[in-house]
Amino acid sequence: MQLKNKVAIVTGAKQGIGLGIALALAKAGCHVVVSDLDQTGCDKAATKIKKPGIKTLAVACDVAKKSEVDNLISKTLKEFGRLDILVNNAGIFPFVPFADMTEADWDKVQEVNLKGAFLCAQAAVKKMKAGSKIVNISSIASLVGFEGLVHYCASKGGVNGFTRALALELAAKKINVNAVAPGAIETPGATTAMTKEMRQGTIAAIPWKRMGTPDDIAQAVVFLASNQADYITGQVLVVDGGWTLR
C-alpha cells in the first residue's frame, strides 16, 4: 500500500498497536509524527521507525488535554506543512468491577478514549484537506460486553458513534472517518491487564487460535488511510481472528 509523502499522526504510539501502526505507515511511505505521554518514549519509537526517505517527529501529548493536542497539531504543521492522516489510537483499559468503579475511574477512561479522539480530530480537521483520513482505534468491546470493563465498553461504543457522526459531517469536505475494532492483541497494555488464565481462555475462544499482533491491526489502518478506501466512510472494521463470530 503506497502512502508516499503523506503526513500521519499516531497517538499512543510509543508501544503496542500504536507503534505497529506507526511502523506500517512509515513502511508505506508516510512521514510519521509519533505521539505519546512521555517524550523519551516518543523519541525511542521515532528512532525505531526512522528509515531512508521517511521523516519522523516525536511529540509528547496527553490526548485528554486540549492545550497539548493543539501543540501536537501545530508542531506537525510547522515541521511538515500538512496533515493527511490522524490515527486516534491512545487508549486505556483498566479492569475494575462495576461495583468498585469510582467516578474518577469512569471519567479517566472517557477522557482518554473518547474525549481524546474528539480533541485530536477537531484540531486536526481544521488543517486537513480533501482526501485526508481519520482512523479511530475502537475495540470489539464496543460491540460485545466484557466484565470489569463497563467504562471501557461504553467509551468504545462512543468511539463508534463518534466515527459515524463525524464521517457524516466531514463527507462534504471529502475527509474519510473510519474505525478499526481490534480483538485481543499482544501488546504491553494487554499483557499487563490479563492474567495467564485470562490469556489462555481468550486464545481458546478465538477461532484463529492466537491473539492478534499490532501489525494485524496496522494493515487494516494502512488500508483505511490509503486512497484505496476513498469511498469507505463511517465504518467499523472488526479485526479479531473471528472472536465475535459466535
- Which positions are catalytic? 152
Q: How far is the CB of 47 from ligand NAP (least distance, A)?
A: 15
Q: How far is the CB of 189 from ligand NAP (least distance, A)?
A: 2
Which of 55/146 has CB closer to ligand NAP? Answer: 146
Stretch that binds ligand NAP, among 7-15, 26-34, 79-87, 228-236 (CB under 6 A): 7-15
Which of 16/158 has CB closer to ligand NAP? Answer: 16
Nearest to 213 by CA among 236, 244, 182: 182
What type of residue is 86?
L
What type of residue is 128?
M
Q: Among positive and negative, which fits the CA dihedral 157, 159, 160, 165?
A: positive
Beta bridge partners of 119: none
Q: Does 207 bind ligand NAP (CB under 6 A)?
A: no
Beta bridge partners of 36: 60
Among 160, 176, 187, 233, binds ligand NAP (CB under 6 A): 187
Nearest to 246 by CA among 206, 210, 204: 206
User: Three cell numbers at 148?
Assistant: 470489569
Q: Does 36 bind ligand NAP (CB under 6 A)?
A: yes
User: Three cell numbers at 194?
Assistant: 490479563
What type of residue is 194?
M
CB proximity list for 169: less than 8 A, separation 6 or greater? none
Which of 5/143 has CB closer to ligand NAP? Answer: 143
Among 58, 90, 177, 206, binds ligand NAP (CB under 6 A): 90
> Residue numbers of the site for ligand NAP (CB under 6 A)?
11-12, 14-18, 36-37, 62-64, 89-93, 112, 116, 137, 139, 182, 184-185, 187-190
